[in-house]
Amino acid sequence: MSGISTYDAVQNPIPNNELWKTHSLDAIRRRIESLPPGERDLAYNIFTLTLNSCHQLVEDEILSREIFCV
């Protein structure tokens, strides 16, 4: 790969919305913990589904690329 670093060869496939501040996963967890029990369960469900979707997107769009294959 003449002159192209591995990072430059891929783009982040996860969209970023500039209207919302980016929080750490721990800050999101603390916010979820502050919710009433029923809302907390739903929030954790959506949070986990979102993490799994992001994980799959990275697998499909980045880690499966030829430059990462050994």
Span 56-60, average pLDDT: 88
CB 60 within 8 A of CB 10: no
User: How far is 48 from 69, CA to CA, in rounded Å?
Assistant: 28
The pLDDT score that the predictor gives to residue 1 is: 45
Residue with tokens 């790969």: 1
User: How far is 70 from 56, CA to CA, in rounded Å?
Assistant: 20
31: closest CA among 54, 66, 57, 21? 21
pLDDT tens sequence across 18-55? 888 889 999 999 999 999 999 999 999 999 999 999 99
Q: At residue 62, does pLDDT exceed 70?
A: yes
The pLDDT score that the predictor gives to residue 7 is: 54
The more confidently predicted of residues 68 and 58 is: 58
**Helix axes 25-33 and 37-58, enclosed angle (nearest 10):** 160
